[in-house]
Amino acid sequence: MENFNICQHDEFCGGCIYQGVPYEEQLAVKEAEVKNIFAEKDIHPDIFDGIEGCSEEHRYRYRNKMEYTFGDFVKDGPICLGMHKKKNFMSIVTVDHCQLVDEDFNKILRFSLDFAVEMGYKHYHKKSHTGLLRHLIVRKGIRTGELLVNIVTSSEEGFDEEAYVNGLLELPLTNNIGGILRTLNDNIADKVTCEELKILWGKDYYMENILGLQFKVSAFSFFQTNVEAVERLYSEALALVEDFAGKSVFDLYCGTGTISQVLALKAKEVLGIELVEEAVEAAKENARLNGLENCNFIAGDVFEVLKEREEKPDVIVVDPPRVGMNTKAVDKIVSYGVDQIIYISCNPKTLAINLQQFIYEGYAVRYVKCFDNFPGTKHTECICLLERKKR
């Protein structure tokens, strides 16, 4: 097992706020934070099952995706590639020794930065909107060992695609590169926007396996960041309902349909709803790949889609983004009057706000358990079982 020390980027990166803190202490802090959030909102679950951490072998190198930014650490200084400096969004810290990612990510980052320096490329400037290099996105299939490398540039001329591909393919990597992509983005917003996607080598997706199912993950599809941990979380979340056999299930905010397809192995039928159209198309393709004919997917806002649906599910599963669910969506979910709702949350603060509304509308919080799926960072996941009180 690797011997990890406090990361050399810790002074400026700030991604891992618990550097040097013993793991059991990290878990205790996170569990206490969730308890405090619930207490402030007067939420008292029948069972609060504490927090489950990652095994020792999965506390590092667990991230399967990183989005790096080109920039400089000091104004007009040498080009850097990595993360935004804590408390200073304009500065970029090169993070080529990050301990949360496979070492191949660090090698690809370092090569990409050295390549930029050697070629004399400039980073895209957020204020002048000039320059070539914007972001580097690296993704990995944990179970398949496939890497997907996506360099994001402006449409400014001069990027040597052939030299970049050849350099990447010569790197001494542990995993295999499945695809090398170039995304063109001239949008002035400081985020990755795909205006054109070019396949420079290989394919524009990688494959992953979760809970016995195959998933094709495209360049911009959302996918669970820690595969090992999310398998445990999903398994325990779905086990909160005793039996899905013969039941109709709504999977809301379904993303690429991971939970939907696991549910489809047990339930009579599953409907997944997700705002991002690309994610829905990926979900449909993955369902075909896994031979699942009893799950369907619809792209759209959860509230707007549900407003047009007449059928009533037996169970509802929700896995919303960090902002949680808006009050209209909660009202609509409550209107179905289902006996059980499984809530999977990546943000305890918005979970507590939503739970307050569910409680007011006649639901009881029967069970809550926390998961530390992102050791070293501030993030905590939760699963929750809600049951409708008998009138």
Say whether 224 counts as a known binding-site residue.
yes
Say whether 104 counts as a known binding-site residue.
no
Q: Residue 322 is inside which H or E element, if any?
A: none
Say whether 274 counts as a known binding-site residue.
yes
Nearest Cα to 264, choosing from 272, 252, 256? 272
Q: Where are the beta strands (DSSP E) in the chain?
A: 47-52, 65-72, 79-85, 88-94, 133-140, 146-153, 176-184, 196-202, 205-210, 213-218, 248-252, 269-274, 295-299, 315-318, 340-345, 363-371, 381-388
Q: 3-state class of 388 per DSSP? A: strand
What Rg value do the Cα atoms of the chain yield, rounded? 22
Q: 3-state class of 153 per DSSP? A: strand
What's the gap between Cα 246 and its chain centre? Answer: 31
Catalytic residue check, 98: no
CA atoms of 28 and 48, how far apart (whole Å): 14
Q: Which two tokens stand for residue 134?
A: 């914007």
> Pick the catalytic residue: 254, 346, 382, 384?
346
Q: 3-state class of 313 per DSSP? A: coil
Sheet holding 176-184, edge to edge: 88-94, 79-85, 65-72, 133-140, 146-153, 176-184, 196-202
In whole angstroms, how far apart are CA 53 and each of 14, 84, 252, 345? Answer: 21, 27, 26, 16
DSSP state of 56: G
Report the length, in residues, of the chain. 391
Nearest Cα to 150, choosing from 206, 189, 99, 216? 206
Residue 14: Cβ within 10 Å count:
18
Say whether 253 counts as a known binding-site residue.
yes
Binding positions:
224, 253, 274, 319
Q: Among all residues, which ones are annotated catalytic?
A: 346
Binding positions for S-adenosyl-L-methionine:
224, 253, 274, 319
